[in-house]
Amino acid sequence: MANPSSPNGKKVSARVAVVAAGVVSPLGFGLGETLESLRKARDCVSPVTRFSVAQCRCRTAGQIPDDRLLASQGEGIRGHRLHRASHMMIQALREVVTQESQFKPELTVIGTTSGGMSYGEHYYRSLRQAEKLRHAPTWIANYPAQKPVIDAQQAFGISAPCQVIANACASGTNAIGHAFECVRSGRYQRVLAGGYDAISEMVFVGFDSLQASTPEKCRPFDRHRTGMVLGEGAAILALENLESAQQRGAPVLAEIVGYGISTDNFHITQPDPTGVGARQAMERALQSAHVLANEVDYINAHGTATVFNDAAEGKAISELFNGVPVSSTKSMMGHSLGAAGAVEAVFCLLALQHQFLPSNINFSASDDDLDLNIVANETRPAVLRTVLSNSFGFGGTNASILMGKFQA
């Protein structure tokens, strides 16, 4: 459908509704369990059990229990051959389809970083150790990043074209932002968007080797923060042209109203310490939405609890916003990398729907160099109309989306 025009001939951007959402993460399976965990400010980080961490500094992560994840998919040979990431995507998409069975996507956009990385590890180790390669076909078939997306679509008879965005830890937010632009432009009416990532040993050990991970609690924006913990999960949002959604009587959970990106090119693993990249992404999201900084009611920060990230992001937030409540929900479930932006978008959706501020747990003391209004340790009721979600990744890639409470 062509982009509509106003009487003066200028193009009019379509409003973009969120009509359904699905999520699986350490906080729970589905919107209901996730909401309960957010409200109770649960610490869902636990000792790593999937592989040995005996030689690592960090020994904890936010994990989705295998027994429940695999049991939810039922029995069958094919199900047992799929990677955990595929099961996560199937779980998230099942919730979307259950909520909105009439939603027929024209495009699917998913962000991720690692695909079936753990199967790649198995294959490489078998080659190096001259072991039998009986399972090699399964390992290789499940390694590509698009495989979990294809598996999820196939499970529900969806054949929409699929785009995978791999842009470090901004991937999930980039996917939602790109899908938002696709619908707002009028080129598409309905797009599935989200992200996934599953914990793998190589990624875990890699962050530990960089000394970015903490042997303690994850404490975003705290003076005593010592690093991040990893997490995992998947989340999918169904985005639709608002007029189309209303015409067919679909529920409108919220609206995506703005999207901003930047790349600061400062360092491969560190953000520009001035916070210029983060600030540009947030400013561009505001401009995209035609929203002023003082109209934002809550910020779900990237907030990895690493010294450099929190300092740069905190500086950008304090310069651009005046006392807006801020929290990093990574304190509760860890950093799910390419999935983080999508999972945290669902957190923002729930915050808008139920009018509360998710908490930044494990917080004890403000950083002397940061002037932030941290939602410390407990959720708070609040009147929320517009919320901002940040995702910033290696290589200085930055993305922000603005989500608004639906108003007819």
Q: Domain for residue 9, yes or no?
A: no
CA dihedral 375, 378, 380, 385 (to 10 degrees): 50
Q: Domain for residue 52, yes or no?
A: yes
Q: Tell me the C-alpha to C-alpha distance, in Å, between residue 50 and each of 63, 148, 298, 407.
A: 9, 20, 35, 45
Indicate the angle between helix axes 147-155 and 84-99, nearest 10 degrees.
40
CA distance 341 to 335: 10
Residue 3 pLDDT > 70, yes or no?
Answer: no
pLDDT > 70 in the chain, percent: 95
Q: Domain for residue 5, yes or no?
A: no
- Bridge-based pairing state of the strands 397-404 and 386-393: antiparallel
Mean pLDDT of 134-142: 80
Instruction: Render pLDDT for 151-175 as a digit per residue (tens, 0 to 9).
Output: 999 999 999 999 999 999 999 999 9
Confidence (pTM)? 0.94
pLDDT band at 69 (very low <50, low <70, confident <90, very high): very high
- Number of domains the chain contains: 1
Q: Domain for residue 386, yes or no?
A: yes
- Among candidate residues 83, 87, 122, 335, the one labeled active-site is 335
CB 271 within 8 A of CB 278: yes
Q: Domain for residue 336, yes or no?
A: yes
Of the listed ranges 119-128, 184-193, 233-242, the one predicted with least confidence: 119-128
- Bridge-based pairing state of the strands 386-393 and 298-300: parallel
pLDDT > 90 in the chain, percent: 81
Q: Domain for residue 162, yes or no?
A: yes
CA distance 3 to 286: 22
Catalytic: 335?
Answer: yes
User: Which two three-digit tokens encode residue 352?
Assistant: 């808008």
Catalytic: 58?
Answer: no
- Among candidate residues 58, 218, 302, 348, the one labeled active-site is 302
- Among candidate residues 169, 182, 218, 348, the one labeled active-site is 169
Q: Domain for residue 328, yes or no?
A: yes
Write the CATH number for 385.
3.40.47.10
Residue ranges making up the domain that contains 120: 16-403
CA distance 252 to 249: 9
**For residue 124, what pLDDT is reported?**
73
Instruction: Render pLDDT for 333-352 as a digit per residue (tens, 0 to 9).
Output: 999 999 999 999 999 999 99
Q: Domain for residue 7, yes or no?
A: no
**For residue 119, what pLDDT is reported?**
73
Catalytic: 87?
Answer: no
Of the listed ranges 74-88, 238-252, 352-366, the one predicted with least confidence: 74-88
CA distance 87 to 142: 12
